[in-house]
Amino acid sequence: MKIASLIKSSTVDYPGKIVATIFLAGCNFDCEFCQNYELISPTNIEYISETEVIEFLKKRKNLLDGICISGGEPTLQGKELVKFIKKIKTEVREDFLIKLDTNGSNADIVKELKEYLDYIAIDFKSLDYSKFSNFDIKEILNNIKEIIELGIDYEIRITMYPEYIKEEDFDKIVEKLNTIGVKKIYLQQYQHAYKGVEEYYSLGTLEKFRKKFEKKSIDAEIR
């Protein structure tokens, strides 16, 4: 499995928990604002072995609550990801928490992991996925719906990048996410990176968006 890096302790990657975080290389999206753009199509990376990560987690299993698996897009690792997560549960600690970050493009792998995942963060990026991927909005919405119906604790994250999340689309986005049963949203301010524009929404605009979700009885917070 292509493990590009390991953060040994994090208090921001899993709500209310202290976890280690690993970043897996490779992504099927090319988002302009990507904070980990070097992992999209990586070259000259010295990967960390699964054994090294597992041994580290064993040593820290009484200090850490769990692990966050991020990327890149972790589900591109397919069956290798499934095997790795099973190994964590059997070799580290059965109740060792596992959080998965995903762009929502591969619901089938998430379904395979249903009994092993404790928390999942799914990114909703735009009404127009053709700007940065080979997926369309219907595919992504269907995948998100299937994932949240698995019953795993989750959050939907929306990075407020003006080129992808347009203010005139706020109502339509709320309606689409409400229709598929989303109940938990985090709006996060865009931080300039990669190919992103130097344009930002004000906190007031984020709050206006948040209130639109609130009116639909969707729990929405600003990060």
Compute the mean pLDDT over every residue in the chain, rounded to the nearest whole number: 97
DSSP H helices in 133-215? 137-148, 170-179, 203-214
Q: Check pLDDT > 90 for residue 50.
A: yes
Q: What is the mean pLDDT of residues 54-63?
A: 97
pTM for the complete prediction? 0.96
Q: Crossing angle, helix 50-59 and helix 79-91, to 10 degrees? A: 30
The answer to whether 214 and 176 are in contact (CB under 8 A) is no
| Confidence (pLDDT) at 96 | 98
User: What is the reported pLDDT for 132?
Assistant: 97
Looking at residue 201, what is its pLDDT? 97
pLDDT tens digits along 128-160: 999 999 999 999 999 999 999 999 999 999 999
pLDDT for the residue 43: 87
Paired strand residues for 67? 20, 98
Residue 105 and residue 59 in contact, taking contact as beta carbons nearer than 8 Å: no
Q: N- to C-terminal Cα distance for the chain? A: 31
Q: How many CB atoms lie within 10 A of CB 102?
A: 23
Q: How many residues make up the chain in this entry?
A: 223
pLDDT higher than threshold 90 for residue 63: yes
66-71 and 119-123 as β-strands: parallel, antiparallel, unpaired?
A: unpaired
The pLDDT assigned to 198 comes to: 92
Q: Could you give the strand order of the β-sheet that contains 119-123, starting from the edge strand earlier in sequence?
A: 3-10, 19-24, 66-71, 97-102, 119-123, 153-160, 184-189, 219-222
Q: Residue 212's domain is classified under what CATH number?
A: 3.20.20.70
| Per-residue pLDDT at 44 exceeds 90 | no
d(CA 81, CA 125): 24
pLDDT band at 67 (very low <50, low <70, confident <90, very high): very high
pLDDT in tens, 181-221: 999 999 999 999 999 999 999 999 999 999 999 999 999 99
Select from 3, 28, 17 the least CA-distant residue to 125.
Answer: 28
Mean pLDDT of 92-117: 97
Give the C-alpha distances (Å, rounded to integers) separating 59 from 17, 38, 54: 18, 29, 9
- CA 223 – CA 214 distance, rounded (Å): 16
Which residues constitute the domain of residue 177?
Answer: 3-222
**Which pLDDT score is estimated for 58?**
97
Which two tokens mark 29? 């999206």
Q: Is the pLDDT of residue 180 over 90?
A: yes
Tally the domains of the chain. 1
